[in-house]
Amino acid sequence: MPGAEVERQRSWNTAAVRPAEQFSYYREAICQAFMNLTPEPARGTGFAAEVQHVSLGSGAINRVAFPEHTVRRSRTDIAASGQRCFYLNLKLAGRCTILQDEHEVSLSAGQVGIFDSDRTFVLQHDRGPSLGVISFRVPSDALFGRLPAATDIAPARLSDDPCLGALIVETARSLNANVLRLAPDQATALFSVLLDLVALSVSRSREAHATASFADATTLALRRAIHERLREPGLTVATIAASVGISERYVHKLLARAGTSFSEIVMARRLDGVARDLRDPACAGHDIGRIAFDWGFSDLSHFSRRFKQRFGLRPRDWRAQAADSSG
C-alpha cells in the first residue's frame, strides 16, 4: 500500500536548500511537523538538519537530527496553535534540557522525558555537533483519558521510573523502528500500549509525591506532639500515636524515614531542655535533680550519664562553666 505510506509520512532535509536558507527551512519544517515553535538562529550560515514525520492515528512520531541550538515555545506560539498535546521525547544523541514552569529536566541518549505543549518551554539541545531525538506527539485527551481526574502532568524524565522506565524506553524504540512496517491499526495499538505505560508511570509518580507530602506533614505533626508532651514522665509511643491519630507502627516508620527514632528524639530534646535551664539565670536556684525531673527524667544516674555523653560535661560542671564565663 505505497499510497497509504506516503500519506503517513513526510520529510524535510536542509541539504536541499542553500546554506543561507537552511535554518529558515528547518524552522518551517518543525512548525509543520510539531506545532508553532520559535527556534533561535544557529551560528553561521549552514544548518544541517533532517525532519521525518510519521502519522500515528491522532498522534505522530517526529524524528529529528540537527546541530546544537535552542527552541522556544512562547505564549504567542501557544495562542496560534490548535489542539493541546504532550511530547514524549526519546533522546538519541547529545543532550536536551527541558525548561518548563519551574522544572528543569535533562535528557541524555537513551532517556525519555515528557512535557506539555500548552505551557511555555525552552529546549536546549547541546553536547555534540550532530544531535538526534525521536519525539512522539501525544494528544492530551488520549493521555488524560488514562489518568485520574485533575491530574497535573509536570515535565519529567520517565525513564527514571524503576519499574516502568525501561519498558517505556524499549516500547518507544520498538514503535519508532516498526511504525511503517506495521499496518496503521497495529501501529496505533502499539502506540496505545506506550501511552498506557506512560500514564501508569505518571500515576505512580503522582501517588509517590502525594504520599511523600502526607508523610512530611504527619512527621511535622508528630514532632510537634512530642515537643508539647516532652515533660511528661513515662512518655510513650502509644501516647504520641494516639494524639496524632496514627498507629505506633507508623510513628516508627516516619521517624526511621527521617533517620531517627522516638527514643532518640525524646532523649535529645529533654537533654537540650535541661542544658538550657542549667545555664538560665532564672533557674540558678533550682536543684539539678528537680530540673531533670521537670523535663521528664525519672532516673538521675541515667540522666547524668546521658548528659555527659551528649555535652562532654557532668550537669553540675556544665552549670559551673556557664557561671564562670558570665563572671
List pLDDT tens digits, range 113-172: 999 999 999 999 998 888 999 999 999 999 999 988 778 899 999 999 998 999 999 999
> Where do we find the cell 538550657?
276
Collapsed DSSP state (helix, strand, coil) of residue 56: strand
- Per-residue pLDDT tens over the stretch 75-89: 999 999 878 999 999
Domain match, 131 and 247 both: no
Lowest mean pLDDT among 13-17, 67-71, 174-178, 254-258: 254-258
pLDDT at 6: 46
The CA-based angle 200-150-117, given to 5 degrees, is 75
Domain membership of residue 17 as a residue range:
2-208
Counted domains in the chain: 2
Domain match, 261 and 122 both: no
The separation between CA 162 and the C-alpha centre of its own chain, rounded to angstroms, equals 13
Confidence of residue 7 (pLDDT cuts 50, 70, 90): low
Lowest mean pLDDT among 2-11, 133-142, 262-271: 2-11
* Cβ atoms within 10 Å of 291's Cβ, excluding its own: 21
What gap in Å lies between CA 21 and CA 207, rounded to an integer?
A: 48
Reply yes or no on whether the pLDDT at 2 is more than 50.
no
What gap in Å lies between CA 269 and CA 277, rounded to an integer?
A: 12
Nearest to 84 by CA among 133, 121, 137, 136: 137
What gap in Å lies between CA 283 and CA 300, rounded to an integer?
A: 18
Tell me, yes or no, whether 224 lies in a domain: no
Domain match, 157 and 261 both: no
Q: What CATH number does residue 124 fall under?
A: 2.60.120.10
What gap in Å lies between CA 19 and CA 39, rounded to an integer?
A: 17
Task: Measure Cα distances from 279 to 269, 272, 273 in Å.
Answer: 16, 11, 10
Strands laid side by side in the 85-93 sheet: 9-13, 50-56, 59-66, 131-139, 85-93, 112-116, 156-157
Reply yes or no on whether the pLDDT at 211 is more than 70.
no
Q: What CATH number does residue 286 fall under?
A: 1.10.10.60
The DSSP symbol for 16 reads G
Domain match, 83 and 53 both: yes
Of 208, 242, 273, the position where a domain reaches its end is 208
pLDDT at 217: 78
> Where do we find the cell 528524639?
265
Confidence of residue 203 (pLDDT cuts 50, 70, 90): confident
pLDDT at 156: 94
Domain match, 269 and 197 both: no
Tell me, yes or no, whether 190 lies in a domain: yes
Of 176, 208, 240, the position where a domain reaches its end is 208
Domain match, 21 and 96 both: yes
Domain match, 97 and 234 both: no
Tell me, yes or no, whether 132 lies in a domain: yes
The CA-based angle 179-185-191, given to 5 degrees, is 55
Domain match, 114 and 199 both: yes
What gap in Å lies between CA 113 and CA 115, rounded to an integer?
A: 7
Task: Measure Cα distances from 55 to 35, 87, 169, 181, 268 in Å.
Answer: 14, 14, 20, 13, 64
Domain match, 255 and 189 both: no
| Residue-averaged pLDDT of the chain | 90
pLDDT at 44: 75
Task: Measure Cα distances from 253 to 243, 247, 264, 268, 297 in Å.
Answer: 17, 10, 14, 19, 25
pLDDT at 4: 46
**Terminal C-alpha separation, the chain:** 98
pLDDT at 130: 86
pTM above 0.75, yes or no: no
Reply yes or no on whether the pLDDT at 213 is more than 80.
no
pLDDT at 209: 64
Domain match, 100 and 146 both: yes
Domain match, 68 and 115 both: yes
